[in-house]
């Protein structure tokens, strides 16, 4: 895993997805709902999986998601991915989520991490070997 940019000095992997946390995504406490954050992580891992698979891939498991800090409305949410392991048809993709806010000067914070397992699939949804 490599350090990727100045915005998240300790983030590992490649920036795969960046979005803004909006008020509609909050839970009863006013923080961003964990399910929304997991969906962003899955999207980021899906982007990384398509590159490795050379086409379609599907999420088959989500392992070890850890929420480290709450996410505030207005934060920039950045998902970084790294390919941890590949098999004949599968990929294990590590995802780190970092937040920052340019308007408040908030320094980047790692807020979540997890491991996503994808399988390359054909047009019928059956597993297929990864592209070389």
Locate the DSSP E strands across 44-89: 57-67, 76-86
Using CB atoms within 10 Å of the CB of residue 56, give its burial: 0 to 12 exposed, 13 to 18 middle, 19+ buried: middle
The CATH-assigned architecture of domain 14-120 is Roll (3.10)
Per-residue pLDDT at 1: 35
Per-residue pLDDT at 9: 53
Per-residue pLDDT at 42: 98
Per-residue pLDDT at 12: 80
Domain extents for the chain?
14-120
Q: Give pTM, 2 decimals.
A: 0.88
Low-confidence ranges of the chain (pLDDT < 70): 1-10, 103-106
């Amino acid at each position: 895993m490599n350090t990727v940019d100045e915005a998240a000095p300790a983030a590992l992997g490649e920036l795969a997805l960046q979005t803004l946390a909006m008020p509609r995504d909050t839970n009863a406490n006013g923080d961003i709902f964990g399910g929304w954050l997991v969906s962003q992580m899955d999207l980021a891992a899906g982007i990384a999986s398509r590159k490795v698979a050379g086409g379609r891939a599907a999420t088959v498991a989500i392992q070890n998601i850890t929420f480290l800090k709450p996410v505030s409305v207005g934060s920039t949410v950045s998902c970084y991915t790294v390919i941890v392991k590949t098999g004949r048809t599968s990929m294990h993709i590590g995802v780190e989520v970092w937040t920052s806010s340019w308007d408040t000067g908030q320094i980047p914070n790692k807020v979540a991490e997890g491991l996503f397992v994808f399988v390359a699939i054909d047009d019928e949804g059956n597993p297929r070997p990864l592209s070389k």
